[in-house]
Structure 1
Amino acid sequence: MADTSTSTGTSDLRPEDEVARICADLIRIDSSNYGDGSGPGERKAAEYVMGELTEVGLDPVLLESESGRANVMVRLEGADTSRPGLVVHGHLDVVPANAADWQVDPFGAEERDGCVWGRGAVDMKDMDAMIVAAIRDLARTGAKPARTTTFCFFADEEAGGTKGSHWAVEQHPEWFEGASEAVSEVGGYSVTVPRRDGAGEQRAYLLQTAEKGIAWLRLTARGRAGHGSVPNDENAVVRLAEAIARISAHPWPRRYVASVQGLLDGLSDLTGITHDTDDAALERLLEAIPGAAGFVRGTLRDTANFTMLDAGYKHNVIPQTASANLDCRFLPGHEDELMSTVQRLAGEFVDVEVLHRDIALEAPFEGSLVDAMKDSLLSEDPDAAVLPYCLSGGTDNKALQLLGITGYGFAPLRLPADLLFAPMFHGIDERVPVESLRFGARVLRTFLDRA
Structure 2
Amino acid sequence: MSLYDDTLALLQRMVRNACVNDLTPDSGQEVRNADTLEEFFSGTDVEVQRIEPHPGRVSVVFTVPGTDPAAEPLTLLGHTDVVPVDSAKWTVDPFGAEIIDGKLYGRGTVDMLFITATMAAVTREVARNGRPRGTLTFVGLADEEARGGLGAKWISENLPDAFSWKNMLSETGGSHLPTTDGSDAIAFNVGEKGAAQRRLVVSGDAGHGSTPFGKDFAVVKIAEVARRIADAKIPVTSDKTWEGFVQAFRFDPATEQALIEGTGDYHAFGDLAAYAHAASHTTISQTVLHAGGAINVLPSTAWLEMDVRPAPGTSQEDVDALLRDALGDLAEEVDIQYLISEPPAVSPASGPLWEAIVETAGEFFPAAAIVPVYATGGSDLRFGRRLGGVGYGFALHAKERTMAEANGQLHSHDEHLHLEDLALTVAAYESLVTKFVGA
TM score, norm. by length of structure 2: 0.90
Cα distance in 2, alignment partners of residues 34 and 420 from structure 1: 25
Mapping for residues 42-441 of structure 1, pairs under 5 Å: 42-78=30-66, 80-142=68-130, 144=132, 147-177=134-164, 179-195=165-181, 201-231=182-212, 233-268=215-250, 274-277=255-258, 283=266, 285-287=268-270, 290=271, 292-335=272-315, 336-343=317-324, 345=326, 347-414=331-398, 416-417=400-401, 420-441=405-426
Q: Which secondary structure state, in structure 1, belongs to the residue aligned with residue 52 of structure 2? A: strand
- CA distance 1:341–1:400, change in 2 (3 Å): same
**Aligned residues between the structures:** 428
Give the partner amino acid of 1:184: S
Q: Once structures 1 and 2 are overlaid, which stretch shifts more, 352-361 or 406-415?
A: 406-415
Counterpart contact for 1:30–1:107, Cα < 8 Å: yes
How far apart are 1:434 and its partner, in Å? 0.7
Cα distance in 1, alignment partners of residues 254 and 411 from structure 2: 30
How far apart are 1:285 and its partner, in Å? 4.4
Instruction: Please state if 1:24 is matched with 2:31.
Output: no
Counterpart contact for 2:166–2:389, Cα < 8 Å: yes
Cα distance in 1, alignment partners of residues 363 and 379 from structure 2: 27
Counterpart contact for 2:144–2:379, Cα < 8 Å: yes
Q: Which runs of 5+ in 2 are unaligned?
A: none
Cα distance in 2, alignment partners of residues 24 and 380 from structure 1: 26
How far apart are 1:329 and its partner, in Å? 0.6
Counterpart contact for 2:75–2:139, Cα < 8 Å: yes
- Show CA shifts across 1:284-330 (max 9, x none): 6412xx3x443222111110101222332222222222233211111
Identity %: 29
Cα distance in 2, alignment partners of residues 319 and 171 from structure 1: 43
- Show CA shifts across 1:319-368 (max 9, x none): 22223321111111212211332255453333222221112122221222
- CA distance 1:121–1:203, change in 2 (3 Å): farther
Cα distance in 1, alignment partners of residues 384 and 267 from structure 2: 37
Q: Which secondary structure state, in structure 1, belongs to the residue aligned with residue 34 of structure 2? A: helix
Q: Which runs of 5+ in 1 are unaligned?
A: 1-12, 196-200
- CA distance 1:92–1:217, change in 2 (3 Å): farther
Give the partner amino acid of 1:148: T
How far apart are 1:76 and its partner, in Å? 1.5
- CA distance 1:222–1:173, change in 2 (3 Å): same
TM score, norm. by length of structure 1: 0.88
How far apart are 1:221 and its partner, in Å? 2.5
Cα distance in 2, alignment partners of residues 322 and 95 from structure 1: 30
Give the partner amino acid of 1:267: F
Give the partner amino acid of 1:355: L
- CA distance 1:111–1:334, change in 2 (3 Å): same
Q: Which secondary structure state, in structure 2, belongs to the residue aligned with residue 395 of structure 1? A: coil
RMSD over equivalenced CA pairs, Å: 2.4
How far apart are 1:116 and its partner, in Å? 1.0
Q: Once structures 1 and 2 are overlaid, which stretch shifts more, 277-286 or 345-354?
A: 277-286
Counterpart contact for 1:267–1:285, Cα < 8 Å: no
How far apart are 1:206 and its partner, in Å? 0.5
Cα distance in 2, alignment partners of residues 107 and 218 from structure 1: 36
Cα distance in 2, alignment partners of residues 421 and 171 from structure 1: 34
How far apart are 1:374 and its partner, in Å? 1.2
